[in-house]
Amino acid sequence: MSGPKTHSWIKDLNVYSVGISKTVHAQNPIKLSANESPLGPSPMAMKAYKEAATNLHRYPDPTYNELRSTLALKYDIDPGRIVCGVGSDEILKLACRAYINPGDEVIYVSHSFSMYPIATKSVGGVPIEVADVNYTANVDNILNAITDKTRIIFLANPNNPTGTYIPISEVERLWKNVPNNILLVLDAAYAEFVEQDDYDAGIDLVERSTNILMTRTFSKLYGLAALRLGWGYACKEIADTLDKVRDPFNVPSSAQVAGVAALNDDQFEKKAIAFNNKWLKWLSSELSKLGLEAIPSVTNFILIKFKCDIKTACAANDYLLNHGYILRYYSGEDLDDCLRLTVGTEQQNQQVIALFKEFMEA
Ligand SMILES: *Cc1c(COP(=O)(O)O)cnc(C)c1O
């Protein structure tokens, strides 16, 4: 049968693997696999979302003025250089659409966000994966991979799925050694959680650069994953370029108003950060006590490494699924000796540790 022929690079494209959200063993499984907020969305965001229902017949503000000015106020940045998207995923894709020709190279670190190769290949780019060191991005490895075909470098800082980060001094060293014709994307989806003094999402670097795009999301700390809202910050030229390739009404009004409300809900934000910090520490220490390696995380999840051949990640995953707990398992991938656990509610955290204990001691 013949029909329309797609690009060769689209034929080879794998769809994003989302992990499972159901298990045959439990009616209401506990999903700790997608780094979603255990506290739900901010109450103020929910209220704003509900109120938006009366305006569903109107097209959204195509320039999302209120959202941009709220972000500008909160972070002391220029509203004219903020781009909003359908999740930060869309911003990553817009960057590829705007800057990649078929055959151009895009560098990212191994054990990193799986959207990078997908966004790269969707426009015919060539993904170049470089090795990490101890599950952490390595600046020298990235620099060594640069060729005259490199157009974009994606750096998730902190990184998903490993939870690690590199200090802002290392990000700055990277930027200083990257030729100015290469776009450096600092994907800071978990920035809000990080409490380490040597971390910074990169706003100050953006201010000093003409080749950095920082991306952020409302899906993680703010608990608005369902609304698909993210934003990016760059110099005027990059921001204007991304604006040209996006759809005019890409961000729905419901997401815009909920995002504004979430940004203004300081109480929820503080509570969510403190909650995460407390349970991240507790989970990491309990897992270590059980002889598991909890890769040091600054995010709302932990990559857990199984160190022996008898108690494997695969068997643990089955055990947890049987008891109604879904974690992220990387079946058939390089990380198949690991499970990724998202910080849950107090009860979920205690139960999941109890299950790990049963499994390890059985
Ligand atoms: C979750 C995540 C994102 C994207 O989230 P959106 O829901 O598309 O805003 C981007 N980068 C990393 C590293 C993530 O983990």
The pLDDT tens digits of the residues spanning 273-290 come to 999 999 999 999 999 999
Q: Note whether 25 and 92 are same-domain residues.
A: no
Residue nearest to atom 15 of ligand 1 (CA): 160
Q: Note whether 145 and 258 are same-domain residues.
A: yes
Q: Note whether 180 and 296 are same-domain residues.
A: no
Percent of the chain with pLDDT over 90: 90
Q: Confidence band (pLDDT; 50, 70, 90) for 222?
A: very high
- Helix then strand then coil, in percent of the chain rounded to 5, is 40, 15, 40
Q: Note whether 98 and 177 are same-domain residues.
A: yes
Geometric angle at alpha carbon 151, from 190 and 165, rounded to 5°: 25
Q: Does residue 328 surpass a pLDDT of 80?
A: yes
Residue nearest to atom 12 of ligand 1 (CA): 189
Q: Looking at the domain assignment, is residue 186 inside a domain?
A: yes
Q: Confidence band (pLDDT; 50, 70, 90) for 248?
A: very high
Residue nearest to atom 6 of ligand 1 (CA): 87
Please report the pLDDT score of residue 92 as a whole number: 98
Between 333 and 96, the more confident residue is 96
228: left (phi over 0), alpha (psi -120 to 50) or beta: left
Asked if 136 contacts 130 with a C-beta cutoff of 8 angstroms, the reply is: no
Q: Looking at the domain assignment, is residue 253 inside a domain?
A: yes
Q: If DSSP codes are grouped into helix, strand and coil, which group holds residue 283?
A: helix
Q: If DSSP codes are grouped into helix, strand and coil, which group holds residue 207?
A: helix
Q: Looking at the domain assignment, is residue 182 inside a domain?
A: yes
- Check which CATH number belongs to the domain holding 205 and give it: 3.40.640.10
Residue nearest to atom 14 of ligand 1 (CA): 189
Among the candidates 264, 298, 322, a domain finishes at 264
Mean pLDDT of 40-65: 97
CA–centroid distance, 310 to ligand 1, in Å, is: 34
Spatial CB neighbours of 93, under 8 Å, sequence gap ≥ 6: 119, 122
Q: Does residue 19 surpass a pLDDT of 80?
A: no
- Check which CATH number belongs to the domain holding 345 and give it: 3.90.1150.10
Q: Looking at the domain assignment, is residue 5 inside a domain?
A: no
Residue 73, H or E segment: helix 65-75
Q: Of ligand 1's atoms, which has the minimum distance to the CA of residue 225?
A: 7
Q: Structural domain of residue 350, as residue ranges?
A: 14-40+267-361
Q: How far from 313 is each of 126, 294, 309, 356, CA to CA, in Å?
A: 31, 13, 9, 11
CA–centroid distance, 117 to ligand 1, in Å, is: 14
Q: Looking at the domain assignment, is residue 8 inside a domain?
A: no
Asked if 301 contacts 341 with a C-beta cutoff of 8 angstroms, the reply is: yes
Q: Looking at the domain assignment, is residue 259 inside a domain?
A: yes
pLDDT tens profile 138-178:
999 999 999 999 999 999 999 999 999 999 999 999 999 99
CA–centroid distance, 116 to ligand 1, in Å, is: 11
Q: One-letter amino acid identity for 153?
A: I
Q: Confidence band (pLDDT; 50, 70, 90) for 22?
A: low
Q: If DSSP codes are grouped into helix, strand and coil, which group holds residue 326?
A: strand
Please report the pLDDT score of residue 129 as a whole number: 97
Q: Does residue 13 surpass a pLDDT of 90?
A: no
* Cα separation, 82 vs 216, whole angstroms: 11
Please report the pLDDT score of residue 59 as a whole number: 97
In a 13 Å sphere around the CA of 171, the CA atoms on its Cβ side amount to 28
Structure tokens at 243: 């604006």
CA–centroid distance, 203 to ligand 1, in Å, is: 18
Q: Note whether 227 and 323 are same-domain residues.
A: no
Q: Does residue 18 surpass a pLDDT of 80?
A: no
* Cα separation, 29 vs 41, whole angstroms: 20
Asked if 215 contacts 88 with a C-beta cutoff of 8 angstroms, the reply is: yes
Q: Note whether 27 and 149 are same-domain residues.
A: no
pLDDT tens profile 115-135:
999 999 999 999 999 999 999
Q: Note whether 256 and 318 are same-domain residues.
A: no
Among the candidates 233, 264, 295, a domain finishes at 264
Percent of the chain with pLDDT over 70: 97
User: What mean pLDDT is reported for the chain?
Assistant: 95
Q: Of ligand 1's atoms, which has the minimum distance to the CA of residue 112?
A: 13
Q: Does residue 4 surpass a pLDDT of 70?
A: yes
Residue 76 phi, psi dihedral angles, 5° rounding: 55, 55
Task: Enter the DSSP assignment of 219.
Answer: S
Give the residue, out of 89, 110, 190, with the most ligand 1 atoms within 8 A of its beta carbon, to mutate for a pocket test: 89
Q: Looking at the domain assignment, is residue 317 inside a domain?
A: yes
Please report the pLDDT score of residue 309 as a whole number: 78
Strands 30-31 and 325-326 turn out to be parallel
pLDDT tens profile 292-313:
999 999 999 999 999 877 899 9
Ligand 1 pocket, residues with Cβ under 6 angstroms: 87-89, 113, 156, 160, 187, 189, 217, 219, 225, 230
Task: Enter the DSSP assignment of 7.
Answer: P
